[in-house]
Structure 1
Amino acid sequence: MRTRLAIKTHALLERMFPERRLFLKSESDTRFIRLKPEMQLFAYLGVSLVVGWAIIATAVLLMDSIGGSNFRDQAIRDQKNFEERLNQLSAERDARAAEARSAQERFNTALKQISAMQTELLTSETRRHEAETGIDVIQSTLRDTIREREAARGALTELRQQTAESGALVAAAEAAPAPLTLMSEALEETAAERDQVVADARNAMDERDEIEHEYKLLQERNDEIFRQLEEAMTVSVAPLDAMFRSAGMSTDRLLNEIRRGYSGQGGPLTPISISTRGEEPSADDLRANKLLNQMDVLNMYRMAAEKAPFASPIKAAVRYTSGFGVRRDPKTGGRRMHNGSDFAGDYGTNIYATADGVVTHAGWQSGFGKLVKIRHAFGIETYYAHSSAILVKVGQRVSRGDHIADMGNTGRVTGTHLHYEVHVDGTPVNPMIYIKAANNVFKKQNQRARQAER
């Protein structure tokens, strides 16, 4: 069977590739090379493979060139979009800073108004107390005067009756008119004093009505100031509370840690008290104390925001190349967990601390290359990996926005970028949660500010 198959195959090949001879002639000799059908077949297949490979390689190169051009265009578009987004974030940050300054100014103005209001209230209360005391004195004097007048009238009537009954008494009265004259003058003086007391009483009542009217106006103004302050506190505290909650942080824990850390420097503000009579706190006292407590909470929230990484580590134009979670490893192609976010940019781009803290590592670490670790409050730690240069040292205390390193490609990388991680109590979390939480809160506050301006 094999012989027949070989014979048939050879015959088929001879029909397709007949045997050829290649003659090589020299001056003294002539030789030839036999080209068998099998050899011609192998040569044909080889040439076909080479030509096919050349065609495929040319097509791949053309496709790579076209794809590379599209990729570059896409990268340029992405870079432009990212730059526009960064510009928007920068504008929002500036607007937020301006809003914070404006809120601080409004807060200081409101405190001055409260202080002036307290002074006016104390003055009004003193004047009212004095007016009440004066009215009581006037009324007592008026009652005494009326009693004296009635007594004088009774004495005069009795004297006249006695005079009518006894002519001798009349003669005696005519002989000595001085007592009657003195009594008449005393009665006239008493009537004049009475009229003056009545006029003083009326003036005092008018003054009391005027003071009560001023007091009502002052109370209305006081209510308006309290409403404005309460609205300002609500607008300021609620977004910060939402920012911490969206980042998965316990606000109760934050406030307790801030209170413990700053308890030796004063703690909460001292509640005010308007009344000095030892009475129960009034509604204004309670509202003022509540506002002061909210101001204390707002101040502690701002301290906590400075200590948590609510910021971006890069301020220049970069490209977001990889996020938090399971991804395809760029080196091996396998599925691996990625514990941070990657930002690709130019070599040497500035890297900034995202919150106040203390440097715990500043050097080489396997896989991370040149790495900076910063420990922050609330059990948070941030990583800045693959740097080309480190500008801080272990134990150094840094603030948000400090230049701590330069972007590079050290360690296990495919190109220049920053690998940024956030750890909470030793567990990696998505860094974009903190960056987006801050951006969303600032954006909403800017929208509220624009709506309030309209």
Structure 2
Amino acid sequence: MFRRQLVRLNQRLEHRLPEQRLFLRSDNTTRFVRLRPMTQLLGIAAVTGFFAWGVLATSILLMDSVGSGTLREQAQREQATYENRLNQMAQERDRHAQSAEAAQVRFGEAMARIADMQLELLASEQRRMELEKGIDTVQATVSRVVRERDDARKQLAEARRTLEAETGTARTAADRERDVQDMLDYLLVAMNDVGQDLHAQNVSTEQTQNQAQMLALENELLKDRNHVIFSQLEDALDSVIGPLERVFRSANVSPDQIRRLVQQGASSQSASLRPISVSTSGSMAASPDISRANSVLEKLNTVQAYRRGLERLPIAHPVASRVRLTSPYGMRRHPVSGRTKMHTGIDWAAARGTPILSAADGVVKKATRMRGYGNIVIIEHDFGLETYYAHLNSIDVRQGQRVSRGQKIGGMGTTGVSTGVHLHYEVRVNGQPVNPITYVRAGQNVF
């Protein structure tokens, strides 16, 4: 049956592809090969298919070459954009640091001016007390002279009465008159001296009052300048403390807890940030400027504590290279089992061997192979925080080793239960998993 159909097909193709003969001649004989229409059709189809395959393969190679070049250029542009963004963030961080240092320098200058003004006020108070003592002395002297003058007048009157009542005295009237005149001259000279002393004391007292009024005016101006300086310092510190507290709250960490733990762990406090204590005597009250200065110093201590706390939080990105997010934190359909379950981390995909970095300073708790996670590194940080780095291709640290932020701990891989090369990254607080993207976004506001 098959042979008959083949014969019929050859007969139908005969008028388009007539039978051909291929002669093969040797020294003694001549032979030929018969090429039937069906054989010719198969040969033509084979040659056509071969050429079509060649054209298709060449086109695919050309398209792949053009596409790879475009993707490479796009990756370079994105990498340049990312590096520019990192440079801008670094410049922004440096500007904030310079602003804080400039504010601290201005605060030191303000405190120096405050100390000089307080010394001037103490000196003026001492001069005022000395003037009061001088006035009291002058008043006592005037009172004494007045009493002496009254006594002299009484003695003069008594002498006159005695002379008038005397009889048979050896003194003449001229002698008594001369004695009286001498007494009056003495009293006039004494009264003149007392008047000059009183005038000098009055002039000195008026000058002292004017000087005290000038000092009081300068003190008011000083208070106004101090108020402006302290207001600027407080506003600058609030503008720094506010964003830092938002970073901690976005990372689900209490700013009060950060400040308390950091201050407890600090071995010593900077001498320049210690509260100001001024020993006063008598009834002088504590200066309100000192209270505001201590408040500013307390805020500077808070900023310092927050900066130390940021250094100990895992807010750095664990992959410095460009990655793509393949699976977020939360409920999802498992790519292997197909069941819906909680995904306790974030998956980032990149090339095999991409460096994986520590998100913060800490101690390696585990560096081994774990079921499901594959090759995994677990790092313990402060404040009860742990970070998990799973499905690694290689591990570059060992258990018990202390690592720093940004230190390479392994390479990205696909070990364990995995469908492709990626990093499974987790953050746990007191053993409970939380959304790592919160810490990554918090780090974007700092680095």
Shared fold, TM over 0.5: yes
Is residue 111 of structure 2 the alignment partner of residue 123 of structure 1? Answer: no
Distance 1:154 1:81 in 2: 108
Structure 1 residues 124-133 or 271-280, which shifts more?
Answer: 271-280
Q: Residue 205 of structure 1: which of 209, 223, 229 is its match? A: 209
Instruction: Quote the offset at 1:140 in angstroms.
Output: 0.8
Structure 1 residues 89-98 or 416-425, which shifts more?
Answer: 89-98
Unaligned runs of 5+ in 2: 8-52, 165-171
Please tell me whether the aligned partners of residues 163 and 169 of structure 1 are also in contact (alpha carbons under 8 angstroms). Answer: no
| Alignment map for 1:247-262 (pairs within 5 Å) | 247-262=251-266
Q: Residue 362 of structure 2: which of 350, 357, 362 is its match? A: 357
Instruction: Quote the offset at 1:148 in angstroms.
Output: 4.0
Distance 1:287 1:169 in 2: 83
RMSD: 4.0
The percentage of counterpart residues that share the same residue type is 30
**1:378 counterpart residue number:** 383
- 1:265 partner SS: coil
Bigger CA radius of gyration: 2
Distance 1:333 1:75 in 2: 33
Higher relative contact order (CA 8 A, sep 6+): 1
| Alignment map for 1:1-400 (pairs within 5 Å) | 21-22=4-5, 83=79, 86-87=82-83, 89-148=85-144, 150-151=146-147, 154=150, 171-174=175-178, 178-262=182-266, 264-266=267-269, 270-274=274-278, 276-277=280-281, 281-400=286-405
- 2:244 partner SS: helix
The residue identity in structure 1 corresponding to 2:123 is: R
Structure-2 change in CA distance of 1:319 and 1:169 (3 Å): farther
Structure 1 residues 182-191 or 216-225, which shifts more?
Answer: 182-191
Structure-2 change in CA distance of 1:74 and 1:276 (3 Å): farther
Structure-2 change in CA distance of 1:217 and 1:415 (3 Å): same
Q: TM-score, normalised by structure 1?
A: 0.72
Distance 2:141 2:242 in 1: 65
| Alignment map for 1:426-437 (pairs within 5 Å) | 426-437=431-442
Please tell me whether the aligned partners of residues 107 and 233 of structure 2 are also in contact (alpha carbons under 8 angstroms). Answer: no
Structure 1 residues 236-245 or 149-158, which shifts more?
Answer: 149-158
Please tell me whether the aligned partners of residues 427 and 434 of structure 2 are also in contact (alpha carbons under 8 angstroms). Answer: yes
- 2:391 partner SS: strand
Please tell me whether the aligned partners of residues 276 and 290 of structure 2 are also in contact (alpha carbons under 8 angstroms). Answer: yes
Please tell me whether the aligned partners of residues 138 and 201 of structure 1 are also in contact (alpha carbons under 8 angstroms). Answer: no
Instruction: Quote the offset at 1:163 in angstroms.
Output: 8.7
Structure 1 residues 299-308 or 179-188, which shifts more?
Answer: 179-188
Instruction: Quote the offset at 1:277 in angstroms.
Output: 2.2
Distance 1:146 1:310 in 2: 82
- 2:378 partner SS: strand
The residue identity in structure 1 corresponding to 2:201 is: V
Instruction: Quote the offset at 1:187 in angstroms.
Output: 2.7
- 1:86 partner SS: helix
Structure 1 residues 408-417 or 160-169, which shifts more?
Answer: 160-169
Instruction: Quote the offset at 1:227 in angstroms.
Output: 0.9
Distance 1:432 1:411 in 2: 23
Deviations 1:5-47 (A, max 9, x none): xxxxxxxxxxxxx9994588xxxxxxxxxxxxxxxxxxxxxxx
**2:420 counterpart residue number:** 415
Instruction: Quote the offset at 1:144 in angstroms.
Output: 2.3
Please tell me whether the aligned partners of residues 318 and 344 of structure 1 are also in contact (alpha carbons under 8 angstroms). Answer: yes
Structure 1 residues 136-145 or 418-427, which shifts more?
Answer: 136-145
Structure-2 change in CA distance of 1:365 and 1:77 (3 Å): farther
Structure-2 change in CA distance of 1:280 and 1:201 (3 Å): closer
- 2:94 partner SS: helix
Structure 1 residues 273-282 or 423-432, which shifts more?
Answer: 273-282
Please tell me whether the aligned partners of residues 149 and 187 of structure 2 are also in contact (alpha carbons under 8 angstroms). Answer: no
